[in-house]
A and B are shown apart, each in its own frame.
Chain A
């Protein structure tokens, strides 16, 4: 990729700044086109869903006049193209409409629920990377041995164990029987509303407020759900790391390095691992983005007020504004994470330098 972009000999080189502008412009264009496609999809889905947004606002017992008044208020009497245009205009200005279910602007709801998911997903991903990457490398290096087998079993269990089951068992044992960790929810009930929200992530907010009691409470609540998500991403990351590493380790340059008498540690970490960093970043970014969508089952079992359960319950109560708003935000996060991962390649890809 990087090679293809260098200009051929003889042509005048454009200044680095112009190149940066062109590149940035391309990125912005790509994001815009993707987002427009996403908006189109959400709009279409919102319109073809067999739910009646008016009915879900006014309720089953409402009179025809109330129904009609709400119908016009929602702009449903306008042509569909006009409705789509309004939709784009609203989304661009950050107006996702009012959530029928909560009665709050969807944007406010998302600002409230997204940090909860982000906190969970971030810790989950950190755990997944810290354990999954070394495990994958180890499994590749010790290929075929019992270490590799155990790593395989650990990953398979992580993949295949239903999260509601393992979550409930975890709660039952660690919370219900042993009392080692906090229960469902982000804090004990009587600790709620004490820390003023700054980022919405309680661990960060309580640390900012230097309230270590709340911090500890939040930690005891987040540890189990985050570990479950971490386990899930660990499974994925370790398997991918292993296969990337195997591919490198069977390459000739590794044999060369070994023949040259390089230490095994340098061969593995400097040469082989150095070359899989870029692929690994893609995998981690995708896995992180996946967790940021919100793990619905985990959130429901742990009463975690995150974006996954927000979108799901909205969907179940025919609250299309909230569903569409949530989907757009999740989509945006996905796109931005991809852009961010591409930026990271620059630092880790030796060819990009």
Chain B
């Protein structure tokens, strides 16, 4: 026993001595940015196919687009990128882009209007998952030869009807709008796949970086593109290392082995706030957490019940406890930073008011209802909070936890009572959410509009659908924004959606790293402005 005790003592002394002589911090090279992130969702680098967060992050730095956001000023909206300017035809259906002169691809080939034509046509013809972002304007594999046409230094795209120019251009800033080097891609075409297989693991863009290596689940390495028209970038190499664990990311950041840690738990964020030389950034992301009530359920189709339930959610309580640092209260369908977003929060936990509303609706003693939720911890936590607060007004919630497939299957088949889940915008235009939360032209079962959240909840809204359509063709940016503001205020009052939270991402960063923009809710991360 004595031996054991002295061994422990010795170890403690050695530990204390070691801790007091902390060695100098390691440092990443001055022209290299090292980021820890979870990148296990990347499946392809092809801009016509890539539709995941980590993939968009890579693509955004490799492929220039016709128009793009300025990472230093995201609020300004889209601006010129490969297109130096554009004009809109009188009928509002055609947009003609004039290409920027003297721009080269990483391969050395010049960027021409023909490349832009090829890239956009390719996205439509390949018809991969994100293609709807462009095909919603009426482009089809059959008509692209007439609707997407290059002529000398200009590219003209013609939509099937008049759309707000801001709508079309916002969509062109999405990953799918990336312009590829048509010569290089065609060289690698196999069996008419338009280079889809080759572009999965290689890149052919004109952006600030080129892809040097991608090891799935391990790392992505980017090297500066010497031909980039934007000039020389400070970070000649960017390495994104897949690090699964938050605490591991924190350790590496504290040691100086990485410059940025992107998946930190609230505890680790708190730790990093205290550390010397490290700072925490908070940035809003596009994902919304919401609860929706199926209007096929007789009880839930009562507007008073819907309103009561919106008062039975402990928004502040959740935000300040288990969602702290991950979600903030947001009660409208457009995420903050989108065109037309509002920050009204008319609802808060008010049991008495809810009870009164339930009594008016004819349910003074409450009722019993089922809630389905995917097996993700934060969602289950929210469901339990809802169960708790609703019980205080007599509503019994039975929670069913299932796999994504089960829950989504039920949701799409409209057999749920209450669905609790998240929605992320698909492209940086307000229509991405308005077109699903506030659009349902045909509520019949036969319509099978499983992509529309309003349809999934059997919410018949012929008039509001028209308002949503009107906002899509309004050409004046400010009027359009005002239309979305009005739409959201109405939606907040009458819809069976209780939108609760917006995602917030907290990033740990070494103090000397400046100019990193994660892209907010509307776009992806940009590395080219980073200095350190």
Q: What chain A residues lie within 8 Å of B251 (beta carbons)?
A: 171-172, 175-176, 183-184
Interface window among A5-13, A56-64, A334-342: A56-64
Q: A189-B28, A300-B244 are in contact. Are A102 and B19 (CB under 8 A)?
A: no
Classify the interface of chain B: helix, strand, loop or mixed.
mixed
Q: A50-B405, A66-B129 are in contact. Are A61 and B243 (CB under 8 A)?
A: no
Proximity string of chain A (297-314) to chain B, C-beta cutoff 8 Å, 1 when within and 0 when not: 000111101000110010
Known: A103-B200, A173-B15. A190 touches B29 (CB 8 A): yes
Choose from B19, B32, B44 the contact partner of A103 (Cβ within 8 Å): B44
When chains A and B are docked, how far (Å) is the Cα of A52 from the Cα of B18?
52
Among the listed B43, B132, B201, B258, which residue makes an inter-chain contact with A100, where contact means beta carbons less than 8 Å apart?
Answer: B43
Q: Can you list, as one digit per residue, whether each of B254-290 has a CB less than 8 Å from chain A (1) or not (0)? A: 1101100000000000000000000000000000000
A252 within 8 A of partner (CB): no
Main secondary structure of the interface of A (DSSP, over half): loop
B-binding residues in A (CB < 8 A): 50-52, 55, 58-63, 66, 99-104, 109, 112-113, 146, 150, 168, 171-173, 175-179, 183-185, 188-190, 192-193, 300-303, 305, 309-310, 313, 317
Q: Is the CB of B3 within 8 A of A146?
A: yes
Residues of chain B from 102 to 117 with CB closer than 8 A to chain A in the complex: none
Interface residues of B in 18-64 (CB under 8 A from A): 18-19, 22-23, 26, 28-29, 32, 34, 40-44, 51
Extra inter-chain contacts (13) besides given A101-B43, A303-B248, CB under 8 Å: A50-B403, A50-B405, A175-B255, A178-B19, A178-B22, A178-B23, A179-B23, A183-B251, A184-B251, A300-B244, A305-B242, A310-B217, A313-B40
Give 8 CB contacts A-B under 8 Å: A60-B408, A61-B426, A101-B43, A103-B216, A150-B4, A183-B251, A183-B257, A310-B217
Contact with A along B97-140 (1 / 0, CB 8 A): 00000000000000000000000000000010100100000000
Kindly state the separation between the CA atoms of A178 and B32 in the bound complex, as whole angstroms: 25
Q: Is the CB of B26 within 8 A of A305?
A: no
- Across-interface contacts of A190 in B (CB, < 8 A): 28-29, 32, 34, 239
Q: Which residue of A lies closest to B436 (CB)?
A: A61
B507 to chain A minimum Cβ distance, whole angstroms, is 18
Interface bin, chain B:
35 or more
Q: Please, which residues of chain A bring their CB within 8 A of the CB of B18?
A: 173, 177-178
**Complex CA distance for A63 and B452, rounded to whole angstroms:** 12
Q: Which residues of A contact B231 (CB under 8 A)?
A: none
B252 at the A interface (CB under 8 A): yes
The residue of chain A having its C-beta at the shortest distance from the C-beta of B213 within the complex is: A193
B415 in contact (CB, < 8 A) = no
* Complex Cα spacing A193 to B26, Å: 20
B451 within 8 A of A: yes
The answer to whether A103 touches B408 (Cβ under 8 A) is no
Lowest 10 A-B CB distances belong to which pairs? A102-B216, A179-B23, A305-B218, A103-B43, A59-B129, A176-B251, A52-B405, A303-B243, A189-B34, A178-B18
B396 is an interface residue with CB less than 8 A from chain A:
no
When chains A and B are docked, how far (Å) is the Cα of A58 from the Cα of B408?
14
Cβ of B43: which chain A residues have Cβ within 8 Å of it? 100-103
Residue among B23, B247, B258, B405 making CB contact with A189, cutoff 8 Å? B258
Tell me if A305 and B217 are in contact (CB < 8 A): yes
B493 adjacent to chain A (CB < 8 Å): no
The docked-state distance in angstroms from the alpha carbon of A331 to that of B355 is 60
* Given known A103-B200, A177-B18, A192-B221, contact A168–B28 (CB-CB < 8 A): no
Q: Is the CB of B40 within 8 A of A317?
A: yes
* Interface pair A62/B405, CB less than 8 Å apart: no
Q: Choose one: A102, A104, A179, A192; the contact of B26 (CB below 8 Å).
A: A179
Whether B403 and A51, one on each chain, are in contact in the complex, defined by CB atoms closer than 8 angstroms, is yes
Check B245 against A102 for contact (C-beta < 8 Å): no
CB-CB under 8 A from B215, the residues of chain A are: 112, 305
Residues A189 and B239 in contact, CB atoms below 8 Å apart: yes
**Among A104, A173, A184, residue most surrounded by chain B Cβ atoms (within 10 Å):** A184
**A313-B257 contact, Cβ under 8 Å, with A177-B22, A179-B26:** no
| Cross-interface CB contact of B216 among A109, A177, A300, A303, cutoff 8 Å | A109
Q: In whole Å, how far is A273's beta carbon from the nearest beta carbon of chain B?
A: 27
Residues of chain A with a CB closer than 8 A to B239's CB = 189-190, 192
- Say if the beta carbon of B512 comes within 8 Å of chain A: no
Provided the pairs A50-B406, A189-B241, A192-B239 are in contact, do residues A301 and B28 lie with their beta carbons within 8 angstroms?
A: no
- Bound-state CA distance A346–B392 (Å) is 74
Contacts of B255 in A (CB 8 A): 175-176, 179, 183
Nearest-neighbor residue (CB-CB) of A149 within chain B: B4
Closest chain B residue to A100, Cβ basis: B43
Q: Are A301 and B51 touching (Cβ within 8 A)? A: no
C-alpha gap A302/B244 in the complex (Å)? 9
Complex alpha-carbon distance, A66 and B23, angstroms: 56
Residues from chain A with a CB closer than 8 A to the CB of B254 are: 176
How far is it, in angstroms, between the C-alpha of A150 and the C-alpha of B1 when the chains are bound? 10
Which of A51, A99, A184, A310 has a CB less than 8 Å from the CB of B252?
Answer: A184
Q: B337 at interface (Cβ–Cβ under 8 A)?
A: no
- A59 touching B51 by the CB < 8 A rule? yes
Closest to B25 in A: A179
**B contact residues around A185 at 8 Å (CB):** 241, 243
Asked whether B219 is an interface residue with its Cβ less than 8 Å from the other chain, the reply is: yes
Nearest CB of B to A155, in Å? 15
Pick from B213, B216, B252: contact of A101, CB below 8 A. B216
Tell me the smallest distance from the CB of A162 to a CB of chain B, in Å. Answer: 14
- Given A51-B403, A51-B405, A313-B217, verify A177-B245 contact (CB < 8 Å): no
Chain A nearest CB from B5 CB (Å) reads 13
- What is the CB-to-nearest-CB distance from B59 to chain A, in angstroms, rounded to a whole number? 14
Taking CB atoms, residues of chain A closer than 8 Å to B219 are 189, 192
Please report the C-alpha to C-alpha distance between residue A300 and residue B40 in the assembled complex, in whole angstroms: 12
B252-A183 in contact (CB<8A): yes
Distance to closest chain B CB from A96 (angstroms): 15
Kindly list chain B residues whose C-beta atoms are within 8 Å of the C-beta of A109: 216
| A171 CB contact (under 8 Å) in B22, B23, B248, B406 | B248
A305 to B215, CA, bound (A): 10
B 362-413 contacts with A by CB, 8 A? 403, 405-406, 408
A317 contact set on B, CB distance < 8 A: 40-41
Q: Smallest CB–CB gap between B126 and chain A, Å? A: 11
Chain A, Cβ-Cβ closest to B51: A59
